[in-house]
Chain A
Amino acid sequence: MSDDILLKATDVVKTFSTKSMKFGRPNLSTAVNGVSLEIRRGETLGIVGESGCGKSTLARCLVQLLPTTSGSVVFEGTDISKLSRRGLRPLRKKMQLVFQDPYASLNPRRTVGDIVAEPLRINKFGTESVIQERVRELFTTVGLDVNSLTRYPHEFSGGQRQRIGIARALALNPSLVVADEPVSALDVSVQAQVLNLMADLQDKFNLTYLFIAHDLGVVRHVSDRVGVMYLGEIVEMGDADELYDRPMHPYTDALLSVVPELNDTDAPRRERVILNGDVPDPSDRPSGCSFHPRCPLATAKCKEEKPTLVEIRPGRTVACHYPKNLG
């Protein structure tokens, strides 16, 4: 793998203003609070976090489906956060999305062949016969029957629909595929089929994935590198195996320790760390380290001083005053 950077985000912030007013001022909720990351060509970057941590918002900002409030996103050498909608258009086809809910992301009134052909038609891929040929090729690639092109989404199972979503995302040979919880709506045996398919496609077309999920096992399985998000911030990032085997941030540590695991070996289990309370409201962020009210290691310093993401080792970053597993 080369260190060729496909996408580089610097200090991305996204705030939403909610309707309720605080003393006459709009109530600002910071969903993404200063995220910087790089996605290398050909890798899978996994982003993991609990619901409401801002992982989907981050993904949408990175492909500019949502305008960023501040910060820059450089994709293949162009700062796309500064581009107009029109200026973005030629780059859109290089960044494709696979969505969580294969029921909601496919138009129920159109045949699946049409759904996959649409991006090709919009981008004037070629004559109709060239497009039809491409659609058939895509169906074969993702393991669907080419005779089902004229059927409608409701005639397919969840796993097959997700394959259709993947075929549509691949139609224009994108360089970046953003998959937002692509398997969380699927049963475990079907989930495994889709994950294996995504791995095969990555090898075949040298794809780069940004893979967003809340399932820690799935993220480890697919990712080369992993970023852990909490309350709109990346608290830890590193090589997947490294991060899972030796988490540095107490949040990562707690998260990993409570995943229910099959006890099919005699290997000792991680010591369970059960966090108290819930994730705070992003419009009412705690002072200092955002995690301090729930952190078992928090001290007075954590309440006052916000830790920044520092590089402990090349490629291994953590935002904590008292990181674990430093040795």
Chain B
Amino acid sequence: MPESPILKVSDLKVTFATRQGPLRAVDGLSFEVAPKEVVGIVGESGSGKSVSMYSMLGLVRDANVSITGSVKFNGREILGLSDREMQPIRGGEIGMIFQDPMTALTPVYTVGWQIIEQLRAHTTMTKAQARERAIELLAEVGIPDPRTRVDNYPHEFSGGMRQRVVIAMALSCNPKLLIADEPTTALDVTTQAQILDLMSKLQETYNSSIVIITHDMGVIAEMAHRVVVMYAGRPAEIGDEIDVVRQPRHPYTWGLLGAVPRVESRNDRLATIPGNAVSPLDIPEGCAFADRCEYRMDICTKRPQLQGDHGHLDACWLTDEQRVSIRSKATP
């Protein structure tokens, strides 16, 4: 795409100093988000998907953390900005949706109060204007009777409705970029459908870009244009959604896709990835996935770089011929 990216992350590394040694939570993450694009970051728990987003936004405040690399938002480097400099960006130009809407909202204030506070912090609206806008936003995210509901407390809403409130807050300042961290994981499938639907609609109206973090490949397939598959704090594979889902290149992605039990068909046996996720305290120098990989070779003790063409990149030493022969055996 010729347009310059709204977000460009290069070689992001997040390391925590612990008593057991350095804990590499994110270890060289690079990706871009184009305007109006939805990028999905998928990985299992502990793969560094959330911490990479939080550290980008300066929300990781551990004294023992070291964050290196570069994060350019709209062409401006935001890594290392002071809190004062970040404040107009967080909640203003970048909106956030968290996994658990109960913890994202404070229980002691009404939802209206919380939306108004955010509007007043980022715009020059008066209290009355902000209140009107809050009611408008609640209506927009599909909360029935918003004029009454604006004065309700978070506990008076159901889980799905609370997530709608969080989305209304995230959208309140017309953000250019929305970061959604597992936005539907705490919700039931019918509610999840409502929320995903709402997010797609709003993305069209507001023209914002979205980074959606999830462990659910199905949600990725539903929402994302591009996908970043993370393993052990590193990107294993990056590409267009359709390419990654239909022609996955990395053995980890093969395992991840094969392990999902499907609604539309039934296999006798699910593919599994042997062993457990590697501990971030103990990531090997070479390929992080090598210990669990069926196709490990001698060269895997060296770290593979992300490479590929047509925007479909992966970090694996297998040659194209090897992949073709492995995949033709796997899918008869």
Question: Chain A interface (Cβ within 8 Å of chain B)?
Answer: 50-51, 157, 159-160, 187-193, 195-196, 199, 214-218, 220-222, 240-241, 244, 254-256, 258-264, 267, 272, 274-275, 278-279
Contacts and interface: CB of A to CB of B under 8 A. Distances in A.
Interface in B165-194: 188-194
29 contacts: A159-B276, A160-B276, A187-B277, A188-B44, A188-B256, A189-B255, A189-B259, A189-B272, A192-B272, A195-B270, A214-B188, A215-B261, A217-B260, A217-B261, A218-B261, A220-B261, A221-B261, A221-B266, A221-B270, A241-B266, A254-B190, A258-B190, A258-B192, A260-B219, A262-B221, A262-B257, A262-B262, A274-B193, A275-B193
Interface of B: 44-45, 158, 160-161, 188-194, 196-197, 215-219, 221-222, 242, 245-246, 255-264, 266-267, 269-273, 276-277
Nearest to B264: A261
Contact of A262 (B190, B215, B245, B270): B245
A246 B135 CA distance: 42
Given A188-B44, A261-B221, A261-B264, 7 more contacts: A51-B188, A190-B276, A214-B189, A256-B263, A261-B263, A262-B218, A264-B245
Nearest to A275: B190
A265 to B, nearest CB: 8
Contacts of A262: 217-218, 221, 245, 257, 260, 262
Contacts of A272: 193
A220 B190 contact: no
A196 B246 contact: no
A254 B222 CA distance: 16
Contacts, number: 116
A177 B269 CA distance: 20
Contact of B188 (A50, A160, A193, A256): A50
Nearest to B47: A187
Given A189-B273, A278-B158, A50 B262 contact: no
A261 B262 contact: yes
A258 B215 contact: no
A278 B190 CA distance: 9
Contacts of A240: 266
A255 B188 CA distance: 10
Contact of B189 (A160, A188, A216, A244): A216
Nearest to A195: B270
B45 A187 contact: yes
Nearest to B197: A274
A195 to B, nearest CB: 6
